Amino acid sequence: MNGKFITVEGIEGVGKTTNITYVQQLLEANGIDVVLTREPGGTPLGEAIRALLLDAQYTGMDPVCELQLMFAARAEHLARVIRPALEQGHWVLCDRFTDATYAYQGGGRGIDTGIIARLEQLVQGDFRPDLTLLLDVPVEVGLARASDRSAPDRFEQEKVDFFERVRQAYLDMAGEYDKRYRLIDASQPLEDVQLQLATVMQTLHA
Ligand code: TMP
């Protein structure tokens, strides 16, 4: 039997890393084999592409170049990690996937979503996540949290209005694909966020 493909999305500073680990623990406590991975990245070649994408020396990278690098890494990730793991019955928990492209390259950079959809079709066919957890916080909250970390990467250097567009694109997708999406209010204290996540995950393997 094929496993399930779960993606976690949100702007910078929503607490993705902590909460993904928590979701992994919830699944493993239910006897599910979890492959935890991330985008851009997840394979040796994908991680090399990630380094190019995040490197602040490439500030001003052409948006179409950026878009294609995201899908190049994704093609490799799907072929080498995601599809094989699902076929072996593992569940795949992925820190960002194609919705991040719609949010950042579509919403943030203003690339037409029809163009993104064509690349999505080329790289994935009809393959989509079974569940997407959107961790949502107001932009000021996320950016304040993210600024406590190390030197900003190429995306973290963007301005508030860029992240407002990214957040709005995510919220629009959560509304449009309401069967697949679960909106988590990540501005709450950690234990409340984890309670929301536990409730969602319970319905999934109930
Ligand atoms: P991370 O910091 O959450 O690991 O993600 C790296 C950055 O890459 C983050 O700022 C969002 C960005 N990104 C895109 O712009 N498009 C994409 O398709 C993906 C997967 C990530």
pLDDT at 149: 77
Pocket of ligand 1 (CB under 6 A): 12, 38-40, 70, 96, 100-101, 104-105, 155
pLDDT at 1: 55
pLDDT at 63: 98
Ligand 1 pocket test, pick from 96, 137, 153 with the greatest ligand atom count within 8 Å of Cβ, gives 96
Tokens of 13: 């500073």
Nearest-angstrom CA–CA distance, 14 and 20 = 11
- Nearest CA-CA partner of 130 in 4, 25, 33: 4
- DSSP annotation of 43 reads S
Residue 160's pLDDT band (cuts 50, 70, 90): very high
Distance (angstroms) between ligand 1 centre and the Cα of 180 equals: 20
Locate all alpha helices (DSSP H) within the chain, ordered by sequence. 16-29, 44-54, 63-77, 83-87, 98-100, 113-124, 139-146, 160-176, 190-205
pLDDT at 158: 96
Residue range 84-113, pLDDT digits in tens: 999 999 999 999 999 999 999 999 999 999
For residue 101, give the ligand 1 atom closest to its CA. Answer: 18
Nearest-angstrom CA–CA distance, 19 and 145 = 15
Distance (angstroms) between ligand 1 centre and the Cα of 150 equals: 16
Nearest-angstrom CA–CA distance, 77 and 168 = 27
Ligand 1 pocket test, pick from 17, 20, 39 with the greatest ligand atom count within 8 Å of Cβ, gives 39
Residue 2's pLDDT band (cuts 50, 70, 90): confident
Residue 30's pLDDT band (cuts 50, 70, 90): very high
41-52 average pLDDT score: 98
**First-to-last CA distance in the chain?**
17
Residue 148's pLDDT band (cuts 50, 70, 90): confident
- Is pTM, for the whole model, over 0.95? yes
Task: Count CB neighbours of 196 within 10 A.
Answer: 19
Tokens of 150: 């190390």
Distance (angstroms) between ligand 1 centre and the Cα of 191 equals: 26
**Taking CA 51 as the corner, what is the angle to CA 61 and CA 170, rounded to the nearest 5 degrees?**
70
Element at 7 (helix H, strand E): strand 5-9
pLDDT at 205: 63
112-141 average pLDDT score: 98
For residue 41, give the ligand 1 atom closest to its CA. Answer: 20
- Residue 54 CA, chain-centre distance (Å), reads 15
| CB-neighbour burial class of residue 184 (10 A; exposed 0-12, middle 13-18, buried 19+) | buried
Residue 175's pLDDT band (cuts 50, 70, 90): very high
pLDDT at 134: 98
pLDDT at 174: 98
Partnered with residue 183 across adjacent β-strands are 134
pLDDT of 131 strictly over 70: yes
